[in-house]
Amino acid sequence: MGWLIAGILALTCFLAMALLLKLPRRTWEVSAAALILGLAGYALQGNPSMAGSPTAPKEKVAGAEAAEAVKARKAMGNGSTVTDKYMTPADALARHGQYGDAAELLRGAVAEQPNNGEAWLAMANALVGHAEGNLSPASVLAYRNAERAAPDHPGPPFFLGLALAQSGRTEEGRAVWAELLARSPADAPWRGELTARLADLDAFIARSKAASGQ
């Protein structure tokens, strides 16, 4: 059955080129030879009975963790304006682990509003997610642009510190968080979570040093 289907497809392809695409008659022989060569290659290497082996998508559904990251970023910000047409679908993509697509979409947001700190922050987080939690030069640049655009926004240093810690650069991440906590107002809504995360990170660093004999 596989050979029959392959032959029918080859014949259909030739007829389409000859009749629909008006392939010149002088090239019919060459085109037919190319199709026959393709069938010969299939005969040598193909196996109609072989089970398929679909490739899994590179970026899988992220689940609750990605949704929480989007929620935390929104809670720290003041909301976006013109970039809603980018931010809303980009956040939806990020929630489903499609970080590369989200980052690409957010390029339009920062191109339209290069001083929009929240758009830069969302892009930075998407780039980190796309790199499976690792910092890249592009994500660091996006975090810096976010901080430059909104110097009083807690999001850039918070998520930069988180990305540093997740990348194994715990001391650097702690320094970023400690500096953010030091300049955060006493009644800042994010202060409680930041304090708790910093304490958890300190405990992790202490355990790591104890395990290594430092």
Q: What is the pLDDT of residues 72-123, one digit of tens each?
A: 777 776 544 445 778 888 888 888 889 999 999 999 889 988 999 989 999 9
Percent of the chain with pLDDT strictly greater than 70: 64
36 Cβ contact list (under 8 Å, min separation 6): 10
214 Cβ contact list (under 8 Å, min separation 6): none
The encoded tokens of residue 24 equal: 């010149």
Burial of 211 (0-12, 13-18, 19+ CB in 10 A): exposed
Q: Which residue has the higher pLDDT, 133 or 40?
A: 133
HSE value, Cβ hemisphere, 13 Å, CA-based, for 164 = 19
Predicted structure pTM score: 0.66
- H/E run at residue 148: helix 137-149
Structural domains in the chain, CATH included, are: 2-45 (no CATH), 64-211 (1.25.40.10)
